[in-house]
């Protein structure tokens, strides 16, 4: 193991090399490719990772399209991307737990570790959290630097292609495990990328029966292939009565993955009294919501889901992957070299692809 020659008393290491990356180069649509971005320096508590494979997230699409959210949050010039796998290439002088050469991914939420949530196992919702690829440079690059605390070593039996998407898979796992699906009936409203992952995760985690809704028929078909007991086109609300009849007057668990107010409304109608709803999908704006019918008279529990737990979710995910029960191959539809990023984004945005990867090695 070799350490970089950082000298902490004089600030970040100067580093002569350059690298490829995708940056949000201007306040508008698209990303720009560069092959001569400076390789980032390693602080004393950081590791620098040589990135091998990255995933394109729905968030990256928002950044690409430069919607209202992106325009309000993303600093122009930032390197985007937060789903990846790679190898540690350099470590800071005060790093104690990792060595050069380890295959790793990293949690994208960075927190100083002094906030209440950060110190009690909920760093993903700490108030001082920033996210790489959003608030600071991310992984669509040959190198990314992250604090030692954020590193996740990859188990030898987990292939790169799954290791590259632990971040979104973690969203699905956190949602499923927070609600608790073991021996329960589950409704997943919205089978986009995370919703489809939630189908296979819920099945592996012991759900007894899984129902899905969406307005995209091919995705509904795929949901059935991945383990859904039944899948319904949400535009015909007749499915609600069918599901209520096949269950204890409603499903035990609702996993809301769409953010669509109509889906939320239907989902809560299909939830039994005393059931649990985990909300991951972000509505585009405020929702006109019937608290009495959907939550209070029902006596139900609603969980807000954000990111993934550090590190409970990551261990659960490792267990699920090692169990051999997760079916991810039909969700990862395309891989492109990083240089073909425009094709990669187009494939993802058109809906032709589901999870689209880009390779740097």
Q: Which residues are catalytic?
A: 59, 62
Site string for its own copies, 239-268 (x = CB under 8 A): ---------xx-------------------
Site string for its own copies, 274-313 (x = CB under 8 A): x----xx-xx--xxxxxxx-xxxxxxxxxxxxxx--xxx-
- Given candidates 272, 345, 347, 358, which one binds its own copies under the rule CB under 8 A? 272
Residues 6+ apart with CB under 8 A from 358: 53, 54, 55, 56, 140, 335, 336, 337, 338, 340, 341, 344
Q: Are 108 and 314 in contact (CB under 8 A)?
A: no
- Give the residue among 19, 26, 107, 33 at the shortest CA–CA distance from 63: 26
- 41 vs 302, which CB is nearer to its own copies? 302
Shortest distance (Å) from residue 248 CB to its own copies: 4
Residue 206 CA, chain-centre distance (Å), reads: 21
- 211 vs 345, which CB is nearer to its own copies? 211
Residue 213 CA, chain-centre distance (Å), reads: 20
Site string for its own copies, 154-193 (x = CB under 8 A): -------------------x---x--xxxxxx--------
Give the integer Cα–Cα distance in Å for 147 and 72.
26
* Contact call for residue 12 and its own copies (CB under 8 A): no
- 80 vs 150, which CB is nearer to its own copies? 150
Give the integer Cα–Cα distance in Å for 205 and 310.
19
Shortest distance (Å) from residue 169 CB to its own copies: 12
Shortest distance (Å) from residue 344 CB to its own copies: 28
- Given candidates 21, 79, 126, 354, which one binds its own copies under the rule CB under 8 A? 126
Shortest distance (Å) from residue 145 CB to its own copies: 15
Residue 146: enclosing H or E segment and its boundaries?
Answer: strand 143-147
- Given candidates 15, 237, 319, 333, which one binds its own copies under the rule CB under 8 A? 319
By rule CB under 8 A, what count of residues binds its own copies? Answer: 80
Site string for its own copies, 81-120 (x = CB under 8 A): -----------xxx-xx--------------xxxxxx-xx
Give the integer Cα–Cα distance in Å for 294 and 313.
28
- 81 vs 281, which CB is nearer to its own copies? 281
Shortest distance (Å) from residue 86 CB to its own copies: 19
Shortest distance (Å) from residue 97 CB to its own copies: 5
Q: Are 117 and 125 in contact (CB under 8 A)?
A: yes
**Residue 115: C-alpha distances to residues 51, 107, 112, 127, 148 (Å):** 30, 17, 7, 7, 18
**Residue 254: C-alpha distances to residues 9, 238, 270 (Å):** 53, 17, 8
């Amino acid at each position: 193991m070799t350490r970089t020659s950082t000298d902490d008393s004089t600030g970040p290491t100067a580093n002569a090399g350059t690298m490829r990356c995708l940056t949000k180069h201007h306040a508008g649509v698209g990303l720009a490719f560069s092959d001569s971005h400076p390789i980032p320096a390693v602080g004393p508590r950081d590791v620098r990772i040589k990135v091998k494979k990255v995933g394109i997230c729905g968030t990256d699409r928002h950044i690409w399209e430069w919607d209202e959210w992106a325009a309000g949050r993303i600093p122009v010039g930032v390197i985007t991307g937060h789903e990846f796998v790679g190898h540690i290439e350099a470590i800071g002088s005060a790093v104690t737990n990792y060595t050069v050469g380890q295959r790793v991914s990293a949690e994208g939420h960075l927190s100083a570790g002094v906030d209440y949530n950060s110190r009690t196992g909920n760093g993903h919702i700490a108030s001082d959290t920033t996210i790489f690829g959003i608030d600071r440079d991310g992984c669509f690059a040959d190198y990314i630097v992250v604090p030692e605390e954020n590193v996740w070593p990859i188990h030898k039996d987990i292939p790169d292609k799954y290791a590259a998407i632990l971040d979104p898979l973690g969203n699905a796992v956190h949602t499923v495990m927070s609600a608790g699906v073991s021996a329960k009936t589950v409704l997943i409203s919205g089978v986009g990328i995370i919703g489809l992952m939630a189908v296979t995760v819920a099945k592996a985690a012991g759900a007894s029966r899984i129902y899905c809704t969406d307005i995209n028929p091919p995705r509904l078909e795929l949901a059935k292939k991945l383990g859904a007991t039944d899948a319904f086109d949400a535009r015909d609300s007749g499915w609600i009565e069918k599901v209520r009849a096949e269950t204890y007057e409603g499903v035990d668990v609702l996993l809301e993955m769409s953010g669509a107010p109509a889906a939320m409304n239907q989902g809560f109608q299909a939830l039994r009294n005393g059931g649990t709803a985990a909300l991951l999908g972000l509505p585009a704006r405020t929702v006109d919501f019937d608290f009495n019918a959907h939550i209070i008279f029902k006596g139900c529990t609603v969980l807000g889901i954000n990111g993934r737990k550090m590190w409970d979710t990551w261990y659960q995910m490792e267990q699920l992957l090692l169990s051999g029960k997760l079916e991810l191959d039909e969700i990862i539809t395309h891989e492109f070299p990083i240089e073909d990023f425009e094709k990669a984004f187009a494939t993802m945005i058109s809906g032709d692809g589901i999870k689209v990867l880009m390779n740097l090695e």
